[in-house]
Structure 1
Amino acid sequence: MNITLIILLVIGLFIFMSSFFTVKQQTSVIIERFGKFHSVRHSGLQLKIPLIDRVAGRANLKIQQLDVIIETKTKDNVFVKLKVSVQFMVVKETVYDAFYKLEYAHDQITSYVFDVVRAEVPKLKLDDVFERKDDIAIAVKRELNEAMTTYGYTIINTLVTDIDPDIQVKNAMNRINAADREKTVAEFEAEASRIRIVAKAKAEAESKRLQGQGIADQRREIARGLVESVDVLNRVGINSQEASALIVVTQHYDTLQAIGADTNSNLILLPNSPQAGSDMLNNMVASFTASNMVGESMKKGSRKEKTKTQKILPIEEKEEESPETEE
């Protein structure tokens, strides 16, 4: 009798304890009564009728992610693998639809992703697939939202996380990129070389201009000094020819002195004897005298030609007037 009572107490305690259950956060529990849907219970301590109500299942309300890998062909006949990550969740208010209308949500989502991607990618070339991957993700999200809302799911986001062409295509693309970068490097190097050449040419031109200006200034000062020297010598009774000769001889000996002052110089100026200076002076005086005589004779000759021309012109005019007089 005591054993029977104990058994009944244990069974009663078990039934009483089974009337209570807990639901975790971000989870919903579906309760069925005699096999028929009764209610949805959310997080916290819940109560059900023992032997009548039962927990049919639990629905996860957290955001879930499904990675789908699809292989398809682009418009330019390149096979490419795309990895699409779909983030979705069960809507709290539509747990009934998510639990009873759709059994394998992952398979359903995967099918829609395959369908959309294989409809969108063949319209694009490989380069456009990389540039417009966001458009592909938006198209997948739009299609999934329209389909999965009916089953109590909402699509949070879709991302094209990887685009993997065939290995040969990837190698070709890498070679193209390398060649393009080498071309850019060559263009920059050529431009830098051109800039250096132009800058060097400008610097040389400026140097030549300044050098020429310096030479011109030097010669101008030399000429001014010679004029002043000739004026000074003229004041003491030395004419221009003698003064010019004296200046040349002085410069000759100054040059010899400058050459002799340099101990490392191997230059020899010929002739360099004292008699050579006297000969040079005599030759210069003679040349100046000869040039003056030639100049005077040329002046006289030009004057005679002008006189003859003046005499001939009146005679010709008279001859031209004579026929008119006879008439």
Structure 2
Amino acid sequence: MESLFPLIVFSGFGALILAVASVKIVPQKQAWIVERLGKYHRTLYAGLHFIVPFLDVVRAKVSLKEQVLDIPKQEVITKDNVVVRIDAVCYYTVVKPEDAVYNIENLEYAIVQTIQTNLRDIIGGMELDEILSSREKINARIKEVLQGAASSWGILINRVEVKEIEPPSNIVQAMSMLIEADRKKRAMITEAEGKKRAQVLEAEGYKLAKWQEAEAIERIGKAQANALRSVVEATSSPELAAKLLIGGDLVKGIERLAASQNAKFVVLPPSVESLFKLLGEKGGNG
């Protein structure tokens, strides 16, 4: 019995090791590829799993999180023979871990090479101006082409974004000068339109002022005519009415002359009769 005790202890210890080795806990957002005797057996997702020790082996651990892959900058010749430097970034997610492990030897390298190749093809068929204004179009075309190849790799291409398009320095300077010239041109056009508008407004204002002045003169003439008509009707004598109106204007003129700072002496008629006599003489001489 005593000779069997070490064997029992060893057997119990071995069973414990086998039990521990058969338990696998897969973390969240991971997938483990299990092979049995060198052949794909199954995929373990997050949670507690049991495998057969020595027969089952974890071949790979694949992350199911969204992955970010930088695409190195490369030089590409455009349709109008301009050399530009361009880089990008790719966001993808593994949806079939077994395909990502067995269908491609180096997944990230394959993605980089595919995107760079398609970038050269797409940029080579576009002119520089179109490239600089069509980032969304380029992104969509790369994603569309890449998704066709990536479907067999067990991944989903979420988006591909061009980060930077760098034309040659001389092209950049020429574009800056062109933009500055266009900005000055728009400023000059705006200034010219402003001056033209100001001239139009000034002309319209002058026209309105003259129209108002003519209307005022017309109203004064009508008022004077109405006043003369009223005086004639009141006095029944057109001659006397004319003298009265002229006398009123003369009195107003004397008042303005007396109020002037330059006036030294103001000579007035000695009486109202003399004023009428003076008016009568002026009327007779006239």
Structure 1: gaps spanning 5 or more residues: 288-327
Matched, 1:266 2:265: no
Say whether residues 1:48 and 2:51 are aligned partners: yes
Sort the Cα spacing of 1:18 and 1:228 in 2 relative to 1 into closer, same or farther, 3 A.
closer
| Larger proportion of helix | 1
Give the whole-Å Cα distance in 2 for the aligned partners of 1:221 and 1:141. Answer: 87
Amino acid at match of 2:21: S
SS in 2 for 1:162: strand
The answer on whether the counterparts of 1:90 and 1:152 sit within 8 Å (CA) in structure 2 is yes
Give the Å deviation of 1:180.
Answer: 2.7
State the match for 2:254 in structure 1.
Answer: 256
In the TM superposition, residue 107 of structure 1 has moved relative to its aligned partner by 0.8
Aligned partners of 1:249 and 1:281 also within 8 Å: no
- Alpha-carbon spacing, 1:118–1:244, altered in 2? closer, same or farther (3 Å): same
Q: Structure 1 vs Structure 2: percent identity of aligned residues?
A: 24
Instruction: Tell me the equivalent position of 1:314.
Output: none
Is the contact made by 2:228 and 2:241 (CA closer than 8 Å) also made in structure 1? no
Alignment partner, residue 138 of structure 2:
136
**Alignment RMSD, CA only?**
3.4
1:147 counterpart = 2:146: no
Cα–Cα, structure 1 residues 284 and 160, in superposed 2: closer, same or farther, change >3 Å?
A: same
Of the candidates 79, 87, 90, which is equivalent to residue 75 of structure 1? 79
Residue aligned with 1:25, SS: coil
Match runs of 1:209-288 below 5 Å: 209-226=211-228, 229=231, 235=237, 240=239, 248=246, 251-252=249-250, 254-260=252-258, 262=259, 264-266=260-262, 282=281, 284-287=283-286
| Greater relative CO (CA pairs within 8 A, separation 6+) | 2
Query: Which residue of structure 2 lines up, in the alignment, with residue 39 of structure 1?
Result: 42
**Aligned match of 1:115:** 117
Q: After the TM superposition, which of the residue ranges 112-121 and 221-230 deviates more from structure 2?
A: 221-230
Match of 1:169 among 168, 171, 184: 171
Does the 8 Å CA contact 1:246/1:281 hold for their aligned counterparts? no
1:66 matched to 2:69: yes
Shift of 1:283: 6.3
Larger Rg: 1
Q: What TM-score, normalized to structure 1?
A: 0.70
Task: Give the CA deviation at 1:153.
Answer: 2.6
* Ranges in structure 2 where 5+ consecutive residues have no aligned partner: none
The counterpart of 2:33, out of the listed 19, 26, 30, is 30
Shift of 1:108: 0.6
CA contact (8 A) 1:140 1:158 kept: yes
Match of 2:60 in 1: 57
